[in-house]
Amino acid sequence: MTTGASLWSFVLVVGLLTLTPGLDTALILRTSAVGRRRRAWGVVLGIQTGTLLWGALTSLGVTALLTASQLAYQTVRWAGVCYLLWMGGRMLLDTFSGRTADGTTAEAALLSGRDSVAGGWRQGSLTNLLNPKMGVFYVAVLPQFIPPHAPHLTTGLLLTSVHIVLGLLWSSLLIGCAGVLRGWLARPRARRTLDRVTGTVIAAFGIRLALGD
């Protein structure tokens, strides 16, 4: 397979993966819909940072250790489970208690000035990097699209960059579409509903990861 054919085949595979609704989509939509545009972009950049690291480590052969070592895989897996359950559970509890961890009301926290790229980046990075299935996906898929005589690291990073570009384009569309929800989310009840839905989705991904092989 030539490099050009590999590239377009990879675009098709990761394009379908990008468009499939999942945890990343839920995080980006929720963060943007409540008016946290900078934090939403931070989440996007954090997710893509994780994608870049997974791609680079796979191109170097490091992530093969994740699939070969049961201990390494289970360590990352259970760290991811705990993080997702904590994040989703906290979001759900805050909506029912009406208060956040610092004692302020949930509505006040949503409308406060804590709209930072750095905070979103940390959240997006952790969500991506603590998902061992991302590493397994790259180990299983990426090498198949690298031609035998092509430089492994360079080609792997090129293909990963394509995945990142597609992710950025799709995230831009999500953030733009989320803007139409802001009028509806001006009502506290609507914001609580959104957080309950998002918290449930995040916790469900944590449970799914815990029950996975």
Please provide residue 207's backbone torsions phi and psi, each rounded to the nearest 5 degrees.
-65, -40
The residue written with tokens 């995080």 in the block is: 27
What DSSP assignment string belongs to 149-201? TS-HHHHHHHHHHHHHHHHHHHHHHHHHHHGGGTTGGGSHHHHHHHHHHHHHH
Model pTM score: 0.78
Give the whole-angstrom CA distance, residue 15 versus residue 105: 40
First to last CA, the chain: 32
Domain residue limits, the chain: 5-9+37-211
Under 8 Å between Cβ of 39 and 115: yes
Residues of the chain with pLDDT under 70: 1-3, 66-67, 98-114, 183, 185-186, 213
C-alpha distances in Å from residue 208, one per residue of 23, 81, 85:
12, 9, 10
Q: Which residues contact 89 (CB under 8 A, 6 or more apart)?
A: 199, 203
Q: Could you tell me if 9 and 98 are in contact, meaning their C-beta atoms sit under 8 angstroms apart?
A: no
Distance CA 171, CA 30 (A): 12
Phi, psi of 10 (to 5 degrees): -65, -40
Neighbours of 164 (CB within 10 A): 19
